[in-house]
Amino acid sequence: MRSSIRLWLAFGLALWWCVGPVQAQSQSTVLSGRITRASNGDPLVGASVFVKGTKRGTITNRLGRYRLAFTEPVTVVVRFVGFRDIEIPLEPTGKSIEQNFELVSNETQLADVLVAANRQDEYLQQVPVAASVVGRRDLERRSIYNTMEALNNTPNLMTDSWLNSQVSFSIRGLSTVFDNVGFESTVALYIDDVYFSRSFAYNQTLMDIDRVEVLRGPQGTLFGKNTIGGVIHVISEKPDMNNSGQIELNYGNYNFRQIRAKLNRQLIKNKLAVRLTGALSLRDGYVTDRVAANEALNKTDFFGFRGSLLYTPSNRLTLTLRGNYGRDGKAENTFVYLSKPDYNPVGVRADEGLTTNQNVPVEFNRDQYGGMGKLEVKLGRNTLTAISALNSSTDSYFSDNDISAADASRWGRAQGLRTFSQELRINSPRDQKFAYVAGLYYLNERISVTDTFTLNKDFVPVAARLLGAPIANASKFISEGYTTNAVIRSQSAAGFISGALELTPKLRLSGGLRLTAETRELAYYQKIRNQVVNGKSFNIINLYAANIGSKTNPETRQTSNVALSYDMGLDYRFTSNLMGYAKFVRGFKGAGFNTAPIKDSESGGLVFRPEYVNNYEIGLKAKPTERIQVNGAVFYTDYKDKQELLDQGTRVRVANAPLTRGYGAEVEFLAMLKRFRIDVSAGYLNLRFVDFPFGTDDNGNPVNYAGNRLLKAPDWTFSVAPEYNIQLNDKLRMYMGLNINHTGKAYNDISNSEILARVPASIVNGRVAIVPANGKWSVAFWGKNLTNKLYIQHGWEYEFGDQIAWSRPRYYGVEVYLNFR
């Protein structure tokens, strides 16, 4: 009996030994976890997790999380383009396994880039739009600190600025108008899906940015009416479910000091996270004023912060809240006086180089704040998105308007913008046979501006020449001036739908419609101040302005527009790595108001008509290997009633150019070897007015600008950015990079004044950095405009002499990054 029991026990043990593992292997084991970037802990969205040698796998969600089940011994591979693969062997246990992965960048491949051209993230190479994306990698490796610098490598794009708040963006020769709040931007400006209609309300200091997208050409179907030139979209980093932080310290010449920091905290695991970001930027001016009191205020002084909250109570609901505040306390002077060799109206020599001698300092301050909420709800495979936003920006500026030692004129401006917007849209996944996005949009704005201007004693000789007679009692003249006030109230509503239909596995038909209805109201008045001597007014200010309306009874105008924007196109995928497309876009920009000082309400043109554009484009996108990418496009633009402004001498007028046409081309090339990467882009433009009667000159002769090139439309743009990495040892590597940008000749006014034109210029920037393998810190030395090339950013021709704003000279510094986890 005991022998039988021993036999059965032995048999049972042997059976358990053989069968037990088989039973364990037959039980499903669930592997889950999170995949992040090793250097900073950010989640990697769309990373692949699969069983080696099979087609079984999954990808990570927006939180970087994945889930994969297996029942037998496997080798799991984790892969994300641009990062090194990770492989680990695993045995089934019948229990859940939590396994997180940290991926290290692979410098031998080009990462797939995301772009939200269709109002949701897609891979750039799959979207039939001429687009450029500047990602976090580019922002860091090129020491980019503001939006202007971020866009230097984009073909057919030009930026300049003559004051912190007065920034100009030009895409394909179509630019923002920054000197008249009655003009909406031709290039649509977005931050995190929220539209900014005026560039003076667009914060330029980059903080906590994920990427900057540039969509070239009209984008009116999905982004709205004022996108005739294109769209610039700054997308900030979202909070994520981890704990991390970063501090960046900068110091450079012109006493440049900058601190930027960010902190991310997970408050509820996989549910709630918060991200806080702050920046302080200080710098002395690069144009030196010989007057010590003026030079003391010649500085940049910016402080700002942003907070964001991400709440994901389920995998079907995401709520993002953002708030921001920014303040500019001072302004760098960029202007100098430019008298002509044969024309010196106020008897003052031209300034030499980057020095000036003015009567009063440049004074500037700006306050900006705002917030937005974005709710995303999964409805089956579709996504419903609701975005509400409120933003406000106010600033004031005062300066010596003649920019010289002569006391001829002074000018000041206070302007404000308050906007509320609401967007509701629904979109399908882009990978289905018919993909679509549709929605409604509402915008309510109040824009205000007050200009103050004085003509002072040194203007008397100029006035005598303009009036053709001596000024009586000229020695007693002190000043005359005007105050102009304008308030614009605007409401706009739109409905839109856009879709793409897969005709064959390789051919897609796309198209979209947007119906826009808007109303605007203008309240405008202008009050002149005359000096009276012996009962008689000098009336010198009457050369520039007249009494129009009053504060209690202003001149009023109204406009109302209903317009249809639309696009249609075809794209064909020759191979999985090569796509061609052709598209037509009809764009629209609404009517507007001239808020500048004028001599009478009719001839000055308080109202100008809406403008329309037809744009034809053919493009090609290729990524033949993981190391090479080439994108290119050619286009033709046909404009009707293009809105333009002329600010010249005693004339400030607006008009619509009946016909404007032109064409262009652009190409972008990226290549990467083991330790070397190069980015190259080039653009060509030829846009001109075909017919543009613009009233008469001061002698009564008709003026027509037909044949003139558009302002801010350089003939050529070219950039090349080589990078090289050197492995110093197992723990350290060195990064070296150049960024060379060439911009061809461009005019700063519609009359194509040669003395104010921007000359062709090549700007060379460089950076050398030491970075450890774990990415916990870095030290970099950077330099910008290393050859010290100067060019005219902007300028005006006035009766008291010309003035120009110089570009920034050579500047350099050291940068330290510290990452915390």
pLDDT, tens digit (0-9, with 9 covering 90-100), for 355-372: 999 999 989 999 999 999
pLDDT of residue 227: 87
**pLDDT interval class at 167 (50, 70, 90):** confident
**pLDDT interval class at 602 (50, 70, 90):** low
In this structure, of 164-168, 477-481, 636-640, 773-777, the range with the lowest mean pLDDT score is 164-168
Closest CA to 782 of 746, 815, 809, 750: 815
Mean predicted confidence (pLDDT) in 112-138: 88
More confident residue, 143 or 529: 529
**pLDDT interval class at 773 (50, 70, 90):** confident
Q: What pLDDT, in 10s, does the model give residues 409-423?
A: 999 999 999 999 999
pLDDT of residue 342: 62
Q: Is residue 151's pLDDT more than 80?
A: yes
pLDDT of residue 703: 87
- Amino acid identity of residue 84, one-letter, is R
Q: What pLDDT, in 10s, does the model give residues 487-498?
A: 999 999 999 999
Dihedral sign of CA atoms 373, 378, 381, 382 in order = negative
Task: Give every strand in the sheet of 801-806, ordered side by side.
Answer: 335-338, 801-806, 792-798
Q: Is residue 166's pLDDT more than 90?
A: no
Q: Alpha helix (H) ranges present in 249-393?
A: 292-295
409-445: b (≥16 Cβ within 10 Å) or e = bbbbbbbbbbbebebebbbbebeeeebbbbbebebeb
**pLDDT interval class at 198 (50, 70, 90):** confident
**pTM, full prediction:** 0.86
Mean pLDDT score of the chain: 89
- Amino acid identity of residue 626, one-letter, is E
Q: What pLDDT, in 10s, does the model give residues 178-187?
A: 678 888 888 8
Token representation of residue 749: 């006014």
Dihedral sign of CA atoms 436, 235, 741, 289 in order = positive
Cα–Cα distance between 298 and 301 in angstroms, integer?
A: 10
pLDDT of residue 25: 43
In this structure, of 92-106, 270-284, 778-792, the range with the lowest mean pLDDT score is 92-106
Domains by residue range for the chain, with CATH: 2-103 (2.60.40.10), 118-232 (2.170.130.10), 233-820 (2.40.170.20)
Token representation of residue 326: 């920014």
Mean predicted confidence (pLDDT) in 766-791: 93
Angle at 122 between CA 209 and CA 100, to 5 degrees: 70
Token representation of residue 157: 């794009």
> Which residues, including other chains, have CB under 8 Å from residue 289's CB and lie 6 or more apart?
295, 298, 333, 355, 356, 357, 358, 361
Token representation of residue 323: 């708030």
> Which residues, including other chains, have CB under 8 Å from residue 535's CB and lie 6 or more apart?
none
Mean predicted confidence (pLDDT) in 393-406: 91
821: exposed, middle or buried (C-beta count within 10 Å: 0-12, 13-18, 19+)? Answer: middle
Q: What pLDDT, in 10s, does the model give residues 486-525?
A: 999 999 999 999 999 999 999 999 999 999 999 999 999 9
